[in-house]
Structure 1
Amino acid sequence: YWLEKQLRLTNRRRPLSTIFSRESLPPDGNSFEYAKVIEETGAITVQAAEGDDLAYLEIKLGTGSGTVRTVGGYTSFSRQAIERSKVAILDTGMRWMGIQYAEAFELYVRTFLLALPTAGADSTNLIALAGAGKPDSAPEWISVIMDAAWAIEDNSKGLAADAIIVSRDVAKGMALIEDSTGRPVFEVAGNGQNTWAGNFDLGSIELTGQIAGKPVICVPRLPANYAAVASREAITTMESAGAPFSLQDENIINLTKDFSLYGYQGIYSEQPKGLTRITWTV
C-alpha cells in the first residue's frame, strides 16, 4: 500500500542568492548592459571665493555587460500515472524540478563569486595573511574582519560591509575556538556565556552566526579555506519576474504528457570592491 503522504522534498536554502542584491531582468533581449565608473580625475572641494570656478571633476563612464541564460528541464508522465496513481506523481515531479532550478541558480551565483578577480583595478579587495596564517583566535578574526570591512568602505563608492561569507571548515574552526579554560569563545550553547566575540547558531539548517556585529553565513559547497566580507551590492543577480515558468503539452497518440520548467537569469558585479577576500597560506 502507498502511504497517504507526499514524498518529503524540502526546498534548499539559497544563502548566496539571498545575501546579494536581486532585481528583475529586462523584459527582452539575450544580453544586458550596465553603467559603471571607470575613471575619475579631480575632486569635489570648497569654492575658494564667491564667483570662482568650482573644482572640476572628470568622470569617465563605461559599460559592463552580461549574458542572459536560460535554465530549465522537462519530464514526462503517462496519463495513467497522473490520473490513476495513489500518490501525487505530478505535484511531486514539478516540485522536484523546482528544487533543481533553485540549486542551479545557487550554483550560478557561487561560480560567479569564486571567479571574481583579486588583482587589477576592476577587482575585489584582498587581505592576504600569508605570513600570519589562518586566524585561530577571536581577536585575530575580529581584527581581520574589521580590516576587510574598512577596505570596502575605503575602496568602493558608498558601499558598506553587510555579511561575512565562509566555507564550512572555516565556520567550524571559528566555532571551536576556546578560551584559556577550554570554553568556546563564541557562544554556541545559547546560555549567554562567552558572548564578547560573537555567536554561532548550531541548530540552524546552515550554520550562521555573528562576529563584530556582522552576520556570518556558512555557505555549503564553497571550497575549503574560503572567507570574505561582502556588501549586498557587490553582486547583483537577476531573474525574470515570476520565474520559474512551466509549460505542458499532451501527446494524444501514446497518452503521455510532458511538463517543462524554465527561467531566465543574469548576474553582474557593478562594484567588485564591495567584496574583500581574506586568504592565508594553507
Structure 2
Amino acid sequence: MTDLTASLTTLTIASDGPLTLDRAKRTITGKIVVFGVPSSDYRRIVIEPGALTPRQPLKAVKLLRDHDDRDPVGFMLSYDGGDTATFSVPEGENGDRALAEAENGLRDGLSVGINILRDVPGALMYDEADDTNHVYAAELLETSLCAIPALAGAGVTDVAATIDRPRKEPIMTDTLTREDLDAALDAFGTDSDRRLEERLAQLGDAEPEVAPTFASYGDLILAVAAGDETARDYAQRLAYEGAATPDAHQPNTWVADTVRLVEQNRKTLNSFHREPLPAKGLTLEYLKLKSNSMTVEKQSGEGEPLKFGKIQLGSDTAKVETYGGYTTLTRQVIERTNAQYVNTAFSAMDLEYARATEAATRALLKAAIIAQMADGNKIALPAGAGVDEWLDLLIDAVIEYEDRGYTIAAAKVSADVFKRLHRLEDTAGNRLMLVSGTGVNQVGTLDLSSITGKLGPIKFELLAGAGANTGTFYDPLAITTWESAGAPWQLDQENTVTLTKDVSKYGYIAQACQHPQALLPIEFLA
C-alpha cells in the first residue's frame, strides 16, 4: 500500500443518504457524508465522525455540480456538525437547473470536497489491517451534486415549491408533483436542449477569476498608498475575510506563506488537539469526565446481579484570550521606501503571534505535568537509567495507556533528558541512538535538526524551556486549543494629522487540559 499520508491533501467522498429538496425556500438538504464507510476508489478513505469542520463563514462552502468550481449552484446555510447540511440555491438558470436535475433524478447524489488538516496530529491515520485511510480532522471546502455517487442510495424525498420567474408558458404550478415536472421538462423541447448545451459550453470555457497579483504584502500596501483602486479593493477584501481569499480567486503566494509562518513555529500547540473557536462568547464551557466507575465482569452465576457502574460528567470553563500587537508606519516609510521594510514588519508580528500562543501552550502543559505529578499520576525511571531501564519504561507506559484507553503519540522532554537519550550506550560502549551513518545495536534515532528522536516505538520531542528532569508521555487529546479561524487577523487605521498608519495583528484563543489522564509524567528518581 502506498503511503498516502504525505501525498493526500484534497479528496472527494460520495454519500448515500437521502436528499430533500424544498423549492419554496429554494434549499437542498441532504446527508453529505457517510461516516465509517471506505470510499470505493483506490484511496479507500474513511471519514470518521466529527472530522469535518466547514470553512467559515458557512456561505464559503459552495454547492457545486460534479466538483467543478466553475459551476457553483448554491452555498451552505446550516450544518448539524455531523453528516447533514442544508444549502441555499439562488434564483437563476444555474439554480433552476440544479433543482430540476436533483428532483428529476439526474444529479441526486452528494459528495464532499475536503482538505485534510495535516498540521493537526492524527488527522490522517492508515489502518494496515483493512488497507484504509481514516480521516479525523479535515476542512469541508465544498459539496457537490453528482449523477453517480460512489455510495449509492441518495434520492429526492420531497418537492413542494414554485419558481417565480415570468415565462411565456408556465412550467411550474403552486402544487408541483413529479409528473407535472416531468411534463414541464419535456415541454422545453429541442430548442431548450440546444440553449442548455450552449450555456454549458460557455461555462466549460470560462477561466477562473484571478486575484490581482502582488509580490508581497509590502507591495500591496505600497500600491494602496499610490492610489491603485484594484489594490485598495483587494486589501479591503482581505481585511474583512482574513488571510484566505475568496474561493473563486487564486491567492497570492504570500497569503499562504503567512499561515505557514505561524503554524511552523507552534510545535507544542500543534502536537495537541485543536478545535475552531465558537463565533461568540468571552468564556468557553467544556465537558470533563468527573468520575468513571463502570465495571464489566463475568456474571458470578445465573440470576446474580451484574456489576454496577456509572460515569459522572462535570463542566469547566476556559477564558477566551486575545493575543495581538501593533506597529505604526509613517506615510514616508510607506510611500518612499521599498516593500522589504513593510514585509519585515508584518512577518515580525506573525512570528510574535506564533511565539506568544506557543508559549501559552507550553505553560499550560508544564502546569498540567506538575498537577499530575502531585496527584501521583506518574511513572518512575531509576537514577542512572541505562537502555534496559529506558526500554522497560516505554513498555510500562504503553501498558498504562492501554488500561486508560488512550494512545501514546510521543513523549515531550526537557533538554537535559534529551541529551541523556543521546548518550545512551550498550554494555560494549556503542551508542544506542543513531544520529547519522550506520552502526551496530541501534534501537533508536535522533534528528538534531528538529530536536526529535525515537527510542523503540516511541517518539521523543524537545519541550523547550522546561526545567531539568521534565518529561511526559501524551495523547493529543490531553490539551485542546480553540482558536478563531484565520487568525491572526489584521486591522489598520490611518491618522491624517500625524501622517501615520497603525497596523495590528490579533486572534482569539481558549485552551484547557481537557483530558489530564492522557498525560503520564516521568518521575526521574534521584
Q: Give the alignment's TM-score, normalised by structure 1.
A: 0.84
CA distance in 2, matches of 1:127, 1:43: 25
Q: Equivalent residue for 2:416?
A: 169
Q: Equivalent residue for 2:429?
A: 182
CA-to-aligned-CA distance 1:31-90 (integer Å, 9 cap, x gap): 111112212334245678999987643222111221111111100010111121135221
Is 1:133 the counterpart of 2:383 in the alignment? yes
- For the 8 Å contact 1:124–1:276, the answer to whether it is kept is no
SS of corresponding position for 1:261: strand
- For the 8 Å contact 1:152–1:273, the answer to whether it is kept is no
CA distance in 1, matches of 2:437, 2:364: 35
CA-to-aligned-CA distance 1:84-138 (integer Å, 9 cap, x gap): 1135221110110110110111111110011111257xx5821234xx3252x22
Q: Equivalent residue for 1:143?
A: 392
Is 1:101 the counterpart of 2:353 in the alignment? yes
- For the 8 Å contact 2:283–2:320, the answer to whether it is kept is yes
CA distance in 2, matches of 1:279, 1:59: 30
| Selected match of 1:194 from 438, 441, 446 | 441
Identity of aligned residues (%): 35
Q: Equivalent residue for 1:217?
A: 461
CA distance in 2, matches of 1:47, 1:225: 46
Structure 1: runs of 5+ lacking an equivalent:
1-5
CA distance in 1, matches of 2:401, 2:325: 39
CA distance in 2, matches of 1:18, 1:48: 48
SS of corresponding position for 1:125: coil
Higher-helix-fraction structure: 2
Q: Equivalent residue for 2:242?
A: none
CA-to-aligned-CA distance 1:236-274 (integer Å, 9 cap, x gap): 112111111110000111110010011111111222111
- For the 8 Å contact 2:479–2:514, the answer to whether it is kept is yes
CA distance in 2, matches of 1:258, 1:268: 33
Shift of 1:149: 3.0
| Selected match of 1:31 from 276, 283, 296 | 283
Kindly name which structure, 1 or 2, has the bigger radius of gyration based on alpha carbons: 2
Q: 1:241 to 1:185 in 2, by over 3 A?
A: same
Is 1:65 the counterpart of 2:312 in the alignment? no
Q: 1:55 to 1:199 in 2, by over 3 A?
A: same
Q: Equivalent residue for 1:118?
A: 372
Using CA pairs below 8 Å that are at least 6 residues apart, which structure has the higher relative contact order?
Answer: 1
- For the 8 Å contact 2:372–2:516, the answer to whether it is kept is no
Q: 1:25 to 1:190 in 2, by over 3 A?
A: farther
Shift of 1:193: 3.9
Q: 1:41 to 1:171 in 2, by over 3 A?
A: closer
CA distance in 1, matches of 2:293, 2:469: 38
Shift of 1:148: 2.4
CA distance in 2, matches of 1:214, 1:124: 23
Q: Give the alignment's TM-score, normalised by structure 2.
A: 0.47
Shift of 1:180: 3.8
SS of corresponding position for 1:222: coil
Shift of 1:166: 1.0
CA distance in 2, matches of 1:241, 1:268: 18
Q: 1:118 to 1:41 in 2, by over 3 A?
A: closer
CA distance in 2, matches of 1:48, 1:281: 43
For 1:186, give the aligned amino acid.
M
Q: Equivalent residue for 1:3?
A: none
Structure 2: runs of 5+ lacking an equivalent:
1-217, 219-257
- For the 8 Å contact 2:265–2:351, the answer to whether it is kept is no
CA distance in 2, matches of 1:171, 1:87: 42
For 1:107, give the aligned amino acid.
A
SS of corresponding position for 2:437: coil
- For the 8 Å contact 2:494–2:500, the answer to whether it is kept is yes
In terms of mean alpha carbon deviation, does 70-79 or 262-271 score higher? 262-271
RMSD (CA atoms):
2.6
Q: 1:166 to 1:248 in 2, by over 3 A?
A: same
Q: 1:238 to 1:193 in 2, by over 3 A?
A: farther
Is 1:84 the counterpart of 2:330 in the alignment? no
Q: 1:190 to 1:207 in 2, by over 3 A?
A: farther
For 2:465, give the aligned amino acid.
R
CA distance in 2, matches of 1:224, 1:85: 47
